[in-house]
């Protein structure tokens, strides 16, 4: 049986601050930025930010394994590639808390079972809705699918723009970071990997993965 410990959410749940403490932290940042938290436009901002964080970081309360538990075996022996591409990715850089916006492509070669395609998107969403490093997120998604479904191979490619690079620091808009994780047949069989990359548009940075 697969060891699923590596893909379970790492939420060693230290006690979370209260909503009031979270809103006070937002007020502190607004003051530190140099604004007047008493002015009309900012009076409701702490509450809005707290509610936004509940949505943006809902992934900490979700278990991606649960989305992959319900599978289908009646697929008439289908054993070719299953591919879902252009999955919207909305995440946040763990270094600067700035948005990471892009798209993910997922392919797998079923051994006996397939999963509903919406569940693949849910796995992406769960890992994306946490503070992330793109390389780590790519690996987490791939290993989760591999460990739970036990397919003959998994491929994950993420293409994303990092606002910590486009709006601060080097200020280089239009730059896309591409990361990939190839497992099983996608790593070992060049033809399988080439088929996957061709279908998704062949990002040059991952041709040689």
Q: Which residues are catalytic?
A: 93-96, 134, 162, 164
What is residue 90's DSSP assignment?
E
Give the C-alpha separation, 35 to 41, whole Å.
Answer: 11
- Residue 143 near residue 192 (C-beta atoms within 8 A): no
- Residue of 121, 50, 113, 105 whose CA lies nearest to 78: 113
Structure tokens at 73: 């075996």
What is the per-residue DSSP string for 82-133?
A: EEEEEEEEEEEETTT--EEEEEEEEEEE-SS-EE-HHHHHHHHHHHHSSEE-
- Residue 107 near residue 154 (C-beta atoms within 8 A): yes
């Amino acid at each position: 049986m697969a060891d699923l410990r590596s893909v379970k959410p790492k939420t060693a749940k230290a006690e979370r601050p209260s909503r009031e403490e979270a809103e006070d932290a937002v007020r502190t940042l607004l003051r530190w930025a140099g604004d007047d938290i008493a002015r009309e436009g900012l009076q409701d901002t702490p509450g809005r930010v707290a509610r936004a964080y509940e949505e943006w970081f809902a992934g900490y309360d979700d278990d991606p394994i649960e989305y992959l538990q319900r599978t289908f075996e009646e697929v008439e022996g289908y054993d070719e590639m299953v591919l879902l591409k252009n999955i919207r990715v909305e995440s946040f850089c763990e270094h600067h808390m700035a948005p990471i916006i892009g798209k993910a492509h997922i392919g797998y070669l079923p051994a006996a079972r397939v999963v509903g395609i919406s569940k693949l998107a849910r796995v992406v969403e769960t890992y994306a809705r946490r503070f992330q490093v793109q390389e780590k997120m790519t690996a987490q998604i791939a290993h989760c699918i591999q460990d739970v479904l036990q397919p003959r191979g998994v491929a994950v490619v993420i293409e994303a723009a990092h606002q910590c690079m486009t709006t601060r620091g080097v200020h280089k808009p239009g730059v896309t970071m591409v990361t990939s994780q190839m497992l099983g047949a996608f790593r070992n069989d060049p033809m399988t990997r080439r088929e996957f990359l061709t279908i998704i548009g062949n990002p040059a940075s991952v041709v040689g993965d």
